[in-house]
Amino acid sequence: METKPDCACDKRMQEKERHVKANMRDYNDKFSYADNHIKTSKYNVFTFLPINLFEQFQRVANAYFLVLLILQLIPEISSLSWFTTIVPLVLVLVITAVKDATDDYFRHKSDQQVNNRQSQVLIKGSLQNDKWMNVRVGDIIKLENNQFVAADILLLCSSEPYGLCYIETAELDGETNLKVRHALTVTSDLGDITKLMDFDGEVICEPPNNKLDKFIGTLFWRDIKHPLDNEKMLLRGCVLRNTEWCFGMVIFAGLQTKLMQNCGRTTFKRTSIDKLMNTLVLWIFAFLFCMGAILGIGNAVWESWIGRNFQVFLPWEEFRSSAVFSGFLTFWSYIIILNTVVPISLYVSVEVLRLGHSYFINWDQRMYHSQTDTAAEARTTTLNEELGQVEFIFSDKTGTLTQNIMAFSKCSINGHTYGDIYDEFERKVEITEKTACVDFSFNALCDRGFKFYDGSLVEAIKLEDPAAHEFFRLLALCHTVMPEEKSEGHLVYQAQSPDEGALVTAARNFGFVFRARTPETITLCEMGQAVTYQLLAILDFNNVRKRMSVIVRNPQGQIKLYSKGADTIIFDLLDPSSEHLMYTTSEHLCEFAGEGLRTLALAYKDLDEDYLEVWMKKLVFASTVIENREDQLAVLYEEIEQGLKLLGATAIEDKLQEGVPETIACLNLADIKIWVLTGDKLETAMNIGYSCNMLRDDMNEVFVISGHAPPEVQQQLRSAKERILGRSRVSSGGEVEKADDSVFQETIIAEYALVINGHSLAHALEPQLEHVLLDVACLCKTVICCRVTPMQKAQVVELVKRYKRAVTLAIGDGANDVSMIRTAHIGVGISGQEGMQAVLASDYSFAQFRYLRRLLLVHGRWSYYRMCHFLCYFFYKNFGFTLVHFWYGFFCGFSAQTVYDQWFIAFFNIVYTSLPVLAMGIFDQDVNDQNSLRYPSLYKPGQQNLLFNKRQFFLCTLQGMGTSFLLFFIPYGAFSVMVKEDGSHFTDQQAFAVTIATSLVIVVSVQIGLDTHHWTAVNHFFIWGSLAAYFAILFAMQSDGIFRIFPSNFPFIGTASNSLSETSVWLVILLTTVVCLVPGLAVSFLRAELFPTLTDKVRCLQQSRMRRGPREQNLKRGRRTSSRRSAYAFSHQQGFGELITSGRNMRMSTVSSVCSPGRAAHSSTWLENILKRKNEVSCVSGESTGAPESRRRAKTDSTD
């Protein structure tokens, strides 16, 4: 037996494979394996302050303000007190630190609770209670029912027959259905403590990794190798259920367990606005340094020409050696004074807004699914405004567009189709809810919820048609379903995929009832007679094989191999004698797929005893190999599956989810391109596309790319491009001429669709063809990629992200969608029939695809609108506030004297103006949610990035600069000629400062009132409350009382009461306010009157129609009967076959049946109305029509 060298430090060997001996701590300690103590917290009492501060100052904004604070502590250059910077900086640091400390405290509590859990460990011949943290690799531990698994352990034995146990894996993958694990046969009888103490097996396995669904290892015991896989492992985080006890051997502990290996940090996603803000902040820094340089140079010049005249009575300080050095010091002084153009409160406010927007999504009752008690959830707070800029949606099909609730609909057996019904004139009759179902009363074990309408299949069964019997016998035997019989005749099937459940249920109703399985047998009830088959092997499903097979021996001693899988795979394995039947069945598959059904081919083979014996020996050997085990097994499986005889095919209906066609039509009107990426066959995917209105009969052309070689794929893509653009615009290499390509794409009126299958997509994604693929796809209205792997889904998303620079959204419901969800800018998970993996990896989640419409057109658009207006206003008010110092510098000898009181500077952004702008950023709406859905074109400004970009930033900063100019020069001019009521002049700088500060607060408060379109009580309270707070604080801080307490900190004693008691001061404030606001108000009014946007027009209609909602009717789609090539995406998962062939009986929990609701009746007028409305709104938006005309039109509509 191979052993590992006694070297605890040999990390290289440890990384390649792990060696663990049972009950031998001394041996295992040599390898320095991790103990079972976990630590997810980041800090302790001593490290919290330094580490947290270090992390916070890694943020550029915090570091910037720390540098400013240090500069302010230098007396030679500081003209502001240190508290003007330290107050907001400390506030931000404290808030962040408290949040981090709270999070870490709960992590500490969780770690402590987990580490101190009790576990029964076999030590020195007895079971002893010990803490989880003390469990070590190689220990044998005992678990009891409902206990958490302490570490990753190899199951040795249990209280259940054959070493079975049942676990719940909700903490690993979110799935709450019970799963079965089983011990090796050689260890399943080690239930006695004495036997367990004598157990000295050695496990050689893979090193620690994060693959939850995979484990490869070998147990060496008594000189025999035993293969180990994931079905024999209990992972940390699982809960033992319905099992009295079990024993296991610890393989991985603590941070090396698969659960902890999966706790890595997720990729941080940043929005386009975040990236733009970073660029703008750099611009502002550059602008700040330019202003500082101008004022510093001005100081040097002023000191040289004018300042020297005052040195007699105002001598320079000792350190001011020259005018140039004075200018240098003044430069840094102005950097400090003007730093508020980038306020630290901006970053805090943005996070508060995003948090508020996330709560609105969570609280939206119209995105709550009552049937499953599932609410929408924003699982991240950083991407909300990105929801308002989506241009591409990548959607899975099964379970996302469809319900993933399968119903056995039709089948083809030995060249005959079953499932359709005909009238007396041999015309096909459409099946409705009123159509009579087949009577299965002859079968006492039938499922009462199963519906089938073609009685001829039941007659074939009753007449003992051999092909029909063999067909349903295959369905009853070839699967990994786990049965549970609660009472006599009351069967519950636990299927890992809805497809399997539907097929086994169909076999049950047609007289071939799957009753039970043991480790080596499967028991059926065939037409009322119990028949037991010996289960010899299961050839498990995986994504490459796309099929599964079983080998059984019937009571007559015959050995048969039954196989089911994708027809493209099964047909390649058929015996030549089935060629004629294959062509007939293929035609039937075309018909089935033409109706959007999921298809599956069935075949069988008789096996020779001698051949099977040789093959089984090869199988045992391949099962014990650690390197390339899966590849060797695949070769063996394919060897025995050659020469199959075709039985027929099944067709399962996967119904569309409610509201899918309407949602897709609405999103298309918003110029959102929807690409479907599915594992289904080409024809099935196309017909679902027709059902969803993504494909329509009136489209100009549907291009199908199905080439098997790169030249063929290139030619097909180039041909498609020629048809769309015309030959003159396509070069010999297939590239579109780029001169006016984007404009040309916008002018394409014809509608095209692109459908490409998986093997062609693999070639199209190669570097030399990916540009051609992207060009053609973007010229098409609809793109469907079928037969794609999870990796190809991610590659398609990455292709669009890389070259189109558009915001992408991926939506799916299964584990195969996780890579796509993580790759897209925004990932949306649907909590459906395939577990919770997609939800756990997503940024947003809900229960139905139709909620995507509201998420984007309402919450996404609102979040984008609010964030953009918030940023525009924020930069405007801060430029208006800060640049007053710049103008003042030209009148104070460039001495870095501040205009405002220092306390006003400290409080302006955190007290006086913070709440109103937050209220606007959280609650404002340009139009209500009904009109956001009624007019999808309102979504387009977000896609075009119109509301906040570099141009808008320039305009709002220009407005802020103009406001600062007026705020300074109007009071400056007035004070030069103004006198008090007693005849004296206003000569003090403090009164001048109070006048400007009061004017500023009033101007920015009134401006935000003008910018607010949707008023709430919160807006009123925050705006007028902030004004009241300003005056209250102003009078309090300039009062006699506080001056007596802090004479050095509050020098503006009595200034507020003296200056604001003068009528002329209020007149100056009024004049300043009016002059500052009127230009912007006039521009807004003229723009709305002369060049109204679609938002302006809809807002006008909204006001006139009193918030009247959209009149929507449902869309009706008739059944499609066109003949298209069939396809099937097997939703099975690998791994269950090995579980069953190990010979383990299953005991399953009760599963409540889910009824599949019928497809609602719809009306075609809905799509016509919405298309008509789109054209009307588009025409209106293109005209230069004034608001009065819009109001007249709205008035006419409201009286209809």
β-strand 224-228 against 233-234: which pairing, if any?
unpaired
Cβ(493)–Cβ(482) under 8 Å? yes
Are residues 967 and 1000 in contact, defined by beta-carbon separation less than 8 angstroms? yes
Intra-chain end-to-end CA distance of the chain, in Å: 91
Sequence length of the chain is: 1200
The pairing of beta strand 752-757 with beta strand 421-422: unpaired
Q: Please state, in angstroms and rounded to a whole number, the distance separating the CA atoms of residues 821 and 810.
A: 5
Q: What is the DSSP letter of 815?
A: G
CB 781 within 8 A of CB 752: yes
Distance of alpha carbon 336 from alpha carbon 805, whole angstroms: 38
Select from 573, 569, 567, 604 the least CA-distant residue to 585: 567
Interacting residues of 253 by C-beta distance below 8 A, sequence separation 6+: 33, 34, 35, 36, 135, 136, 137, 151, 152
> Cα–Cα distance between 139 and 135 in angstroms, integer?
7
Token pair of 42 as six digits: 């980041």
Pairing state between β 179-182 and 164-168: antiparallel
**What gap in Å lies between CA 857 and CA 847, rounded to an integer?**
18
Q: Which two tokens stand for residue 1131?
A: 């939703």
Catalytic residue flag (residue 396): yes
Side-chain half-sphere exposure of 18, counting CA atoms within 13 A: 24
The 3-state DSSP class for residue 760 equals helix
The rounded distance, in Å, linking the Cα atoms of 930 and 854 is 10
CB 655, CB 405: distance < 8 Å: yes
Instruction: Count Cα atoms within 13 angstroms, Cβ side, for 483.
Output: 21
Look up residue 106 and give its two tokens. Answer: 């709960």
Distance CA 542, CA 645 (A): 22
The residue ranges of DSSP E strands in 196-302, in sequence order, are 202-205, 217-221, 224-228, 233-234, 239-241, 245-252
Instruction: Report the amino acid identity of residue 282.
Output: L
Strands (E), 6-163: 18-21, 118-123, 126-131, 140-144, 152-158
> Angle at CA 592, nearest 5°, toward 589 and 594?
110
What's the Cα-to-Cα distance from 142 to each of 25, 157, 263, rounded to whole Å? 17, 10, 26
Chain centre to alpha carbon of residue 271 = 14
SS3 858: helix
Q: Does an H or E element contain 1178, and which?
A: helix 1165-1182
Determine the angle formed by the axes of helices 989-1011 and 914-923, rounding to 10 degrees. Answer: 10
Give the integer Cα–Cα distance in Å for 694 and 723.
20
Alpha helices (H) along 726-756: 741-747
CB contact set of 67 (below 8 Å; sequence gap of 6+)? none
Q: Out of 364, 396, 454, 817, which one is annotated catalytic?
A: 396
Closest to 23 measured CA to CA, from 169, 224, 194, 205: 194
Number of neighbours of residue 795 by Cβ within 10 angstroms: 19
Sign of torsion over alpha carbons 376, 381, 386, 390: negative
Determine the 3-state secondary structure of 420 from DSSP.
coil
Of the candidates 194, 253, 190, the one whose C-alpha atom is nearest the C-alpha of residue 20 is: 253
Tokens read off for 411: 């089948």
The residues annotated with a catalytic role in the active site are: 396
